[in-house]
Structures are given as C-alpha cells and as structure tokens.
Amino acid sequence: MLPTPVVAAVVAPLVLWRVYSRIKRLTTRQRSKTWRHRTTLVFFPLLLLLLAALSLQTAPIALAGMGAGLAVGVVLGRIGSKGTKFEQVDGDYYFTPHAPIGMLVALLFIGRMGYRAYEFYALGAGEHHEFVTSPLTLCIFGVLAGYYMTFAAGLLAWRKRTAAVAATPASSATVQ
C-alpha cells in the first residue's frame, strides 16, 4: 500500500484541476444538453434519498440539516436561473450561468469537502467517519443538490419554452 503523503501528492493535483475546471464552467458560455440536465434531475434526487435513508437511521437531526440546505439551494437555484443569460444560435441552445451564485454554491461544497478531507487525513480513517451524521455536511450537500436540480429544471423549461415559440411562428406562417 502507498504511504498517505504519496497518495495525497497524487490526488491533490487531480482534485485542484477538477475544482478549477468546475469553476471555469460556472463563468463561461455552455452548450445546453438535455441529457445532462435530465441526468442531474435523476442523479441528485437518488443521492438525496440514499443520504436521507442513511442519516435517518443514525442521526435524524442531520436529515433536518439536509432539508434546510435543500430549501436554500432551491431558492439560490431560482435566483441563479433568473440571472442566467440564455441564447439560441442556429438551432443550438447556449447559456451563461449567473457566476456569483454558482461559484458560491460550488466553493461552499468544495470548502466543506476539503475540511472533511483534512479531518480524515489529520485524525486518520478510523476516527472520522460520520459523513451522514453531520448536519452541516448534509446541509451544504442539500444546498448543492437543491441548486443544481432547480437550475437544471430551469434550463429544461427554458428549452421547452424556446422550442414552443420557435415552432409557433413557423406553423402560423404556413397557415397564411
């Protein structure tokens, strides 16, 4: 087995690269892909249900934290959706997310996971294993999940509205 500092030296650059690429995506124009939005709307609820089931058995208060975070995430997702710039160019859909809220949510989650990783490394694997019993951790995950689910639902709704508007003038032009 590799020593812990070697593992950390290999994993840390990979994590930092993923954090950088994630934050970069939060500030630049992106192509809207329905499969990605739908995957978000399936993946996060399943993960929330799994975490809820695990925390219900060990720490019901953590479940309350996740619920509160979920409510905050939904509100932030609505605000973020309203601040997003939507575009349709030659039949392709693009959006530029509202960067401040997206970055806040991502950095909040990354910060908490970084702190949990530090605890894991400093205290050892056997000492710190209560991921699903921590109300703060599940609250922050609830914020992340609520934000991304609401944002994905907003993107799908925008695409549906845009497609309906685009189809309406074409059908009325053929009727005349």
Which residue blocks in the chain are alpha helix, DSSP H? Answer: 4-25, 34-58, 60-82, 99-123, 135-175
Q: Where are the domains of the chain?
A: 31-165
pLDDT at 90: 86
For all residues of the chain together, what is the average pLDDT? 83
Q: Which one is predicted more confidently, 166 or 7?
A: 166
CA distance 135 to 68: 10
**Which tens digits make up the pLDDT trace of 14-52?**
777 777 777 777 778 889 999 999 999 999 999 999 988
The pTM for the full model equals 0.80
Mean pLDDT of 97-108: 88
What angle separates helix 34-58 from helix 60-82, to the nearest 10 degrees? 160
DSSP state of 125: T
